[in-house]
Structure 1
């Protein structure tokens, strides 16, 4: 029996159509061998199908999108915040751990939320200080082969699969970085922030290194090698404040806040 747009197969009861020269699948056009006789709805509804599609690039795009949406939704009303970085291997009896606890409390006293990677060590310390001071303690976790989990002092946690989505949240919802001694992860976040500030992707964004003796070799290398060989400008080293004094940390943050307010941001 012929319908208005095709014929009904007596074997399947489904209408069969003459195939047009090209197939439109959303914004994608398929022709020739690329033509797919099934439709997206059919593949969704008609069978359970294989499961390997959850690891393909188109699905990853949706996962990436969902991570940004979840992060933006969770943090949009956070208010002013400072991201604190440092080694996950720092133990509670380490002086830097104690200093990070104090910093977390002082940031809360200055009406900042505290954002960390949510793990142990310095991250835990800063979260602990913020939590015990009654402020907002945020942990942005990451999926790793060796699970660390979110520390117990985090009040608001968001877990990410992708580092780049997580990095966006660290910068977008913070008014500055305070960086304690750490390893590759800490250095990664540090140089990412330095690049964003140098290229004016973010402005009035202080980067403070806590631990003069720890960071001295790095800062000397920046000046004696990168500046000397004209790989960066001398003023680029001014992007960093290096100190052991939390009073200076808070003073630098306060000056940056005044600059933002004067600019209407």
Structure 2
């Protein structure tokens, strides 16, 4: 027989951990993440026996992600810091972005977490659009924010990153930290190497991002690490309407282009 006290679970308020579709609380919360165990080269040689099964789990993540997002339609991935507070202007900026994208016919994809991600999801949801959150298993995760109406949880970063690019037609990047930089530079590499085409990348917040552009145009370009044309892969602005207009133009270009391999 279970015991209830004022309708409150004894697990409420304790640590919570989401791994794929499984939620663990209390003493069942693991001390490491699935990604960490995969990438850690230490330990016994039993990995040769467990890794083939791990491949099946990785495959399942791709299948689940593809199945959930295949009919999403035109979408834009919005990135930004999980640490942005609701009272900060960047949160309001994220809300504005989410709403503007929906009104222009896009779904909004974020990492599904708090901060700027929640702001973009909130803006999309309140504008009546599709608000997507692609969550990730982290030691300090907080679960999907309440503004997500289509959520997919991932164990592996690389599976999640594939979804950000495959189902988006552009990136809008708000101020953020290492995670945001990681997503930004991965997108830049994919565009630079023409793995994706007609894929605009807009950085919102000139006071935050202009130093990065100056560094790229300075020592990075001067040492020949990039070409001058690579600088044009980034657009920095404070104008949400301009950012969304660039996404809409890319959508039109994408729709007019032949599918990869067409006529081959």
Question: Could you say which TM-score interval applies, normalised by the shorter chain?
Answer: 0.7 to 0.9
C-alpha distance after superposition, 1:147-182 (max 9, x if no partner) = 211000000110000000000000000000000000
Match of 2:141 in 1: 147
The whole-number CA distance in structure 2 between the counterparts of 1:245 and 1:193 is 21
Q: Does 2:215 align with 1:221?
A: yes
How far apart are 1:261 and its partner, in Å? 2.4
Find runs of 4+ consecutive structure 1 residues off by over 4 angstroms. Answer: none
The whole-number CA distance in structure 1 between the counterparts of 2:64 and 2:248 is 30
How far apart are 1:108 and its partner, in Å? 0.6
Match of 1:235 in 2: 229
RMSD (Å), alpha carbons: 1.5
Aligned residue among 100, 119, 130 for 2:94: 100
**Any gaps of 5 or more consecutive residues in structure 2?**
1-45, 260-264
Map 1:46-125 → 2, pairs under 5 A:
56-125=50-119
SS state at 1:56 partner = helix
Map 1:1-265 → 2, pairs under 5 A:
56-264=50-258
C-alpha distance after superposition, 1:84-139 (max 9, x if no partner) = 00000001111111011011111111110000000000000000001111100000
SS state at 2:82 partner = coil
Question: Which one has more relative contact order, counting CA pairs under 8 Å at least 6 apart?
Answer: 2
Residue correspondences, number: 214
The whole-number CA distance in structure 2 between the counterparts of 1:235 and 1:68 is 34
**Any gaps of 5 or more consecutive residues in structure 1?**
1-51
SS state at 2:169 partner = coil
The whole-number CA distance in structure 2 between the counterparts of 1:254 and 1:120 is 27
The whole-number CA distance in structure 2 between the counterparts of 1:157 and 1:82 is 15
The whole-number CA distance in structure 2 between the counterparts of 1:133 and 1:118 is 17
Deviates more, 1:127-136 or 1:247-256: 247-256
